[in-house]
Amino acid sequence: MEDERDPVVELSAHECLALLRTADIGRLAMSRLEHPEVFPVNFIVDHGSVVFRTATGTKLDAIARDHHVTFEADGYDAASGDAWSVIIKGDAAEVEAIHDRAAAAELPLFPWQATPKPRVVRILPVEMTGRRFHAARHATPDRPPSAPHTASE
């Protein structure tokens, strides 16, 4: 039976933010001295922006040099085969104003690592795109997912 759904559906900013609220982990891409870096971060959507906690170090240093970042998160429902991807291009800045720090402290955002992550970063979107699609081959209760392909295949 052929799937009659559109292969790719472009999402509105509202739909993108709603889907981001269902994700646990996103990827933060940022410029570094020689090559871009990508970091997994747990995050929360707050007032149309993405917020995450971090410690002093690599991410804060990179943001201080270049505040332009890209953030991406995906989701997949194995039972239905529906998948989505959201990409935000935006400006990242550490939350520093005292009233903003107090508001950020109230957010239900907790680091997954045991190390302290006292710094809070907010990404304000400049551009947001999202797509929803049905995976061509997906796992079902009676069909396990396909084996991954190797680079030589």
What's the CA gap between 98 and 96, in Å, rounded? Answer: 6
Check pLDDT > 90 for residue 122: yes
Angle at Cα 112 formed by Cα 128 and Cα 133, nearest 5°? Answer: 35
Whether residue 145 has pLDDT greater than 80? no
- H-run or E-run covering 127: strand 119-134
Q: Please identify which residue in the block is written with the tokens 């710094």.
A: 119
- Whole-number percent of the chain with pLDDT over 90: 62
pLDDT at 27 over 90: yes
pLDDT at position 140 over 50? yes
Q: For 113-127, what is the mean pLDDT?
A: 92
Residue 149 pLDDT > 50, yes or no?
no
**Residues 49-95: tens digit of each pLDDT:** 999 999 999 999 999 999 999 999 999 988 888 999 999 999 999 99
26: confidence class by pLDDT, cuts 50, 70, 90: very high
24 CB-contact burial (10 Å; exposed 0-12 / middle 13-18 / buried 19+):
exposed
Instruction: Provide the CATH number for the domain formed by 8-134 in this structure.
Output: 2.30.110.10
Out of 34-48, 74-88, 91-105, 137-151, pick the least confident: 137-151
What does the domain layout of the chain look like in residue ranges?
8-134
pLDDT at 144: 55
**C-alpha distances in Å from residue 58, one per residue of 31, 90, 96, 133:** 11, 18, 18, 34
Sign of CA dihedral 153, 29, 61, 47: negative
Name the helix (H) or strand (E) containing 100.
helix 98-105
Mean per-residue pLDDT for 8-12? 96
Is 94 within 8 Å of 121 (Cβ atoms)? yes
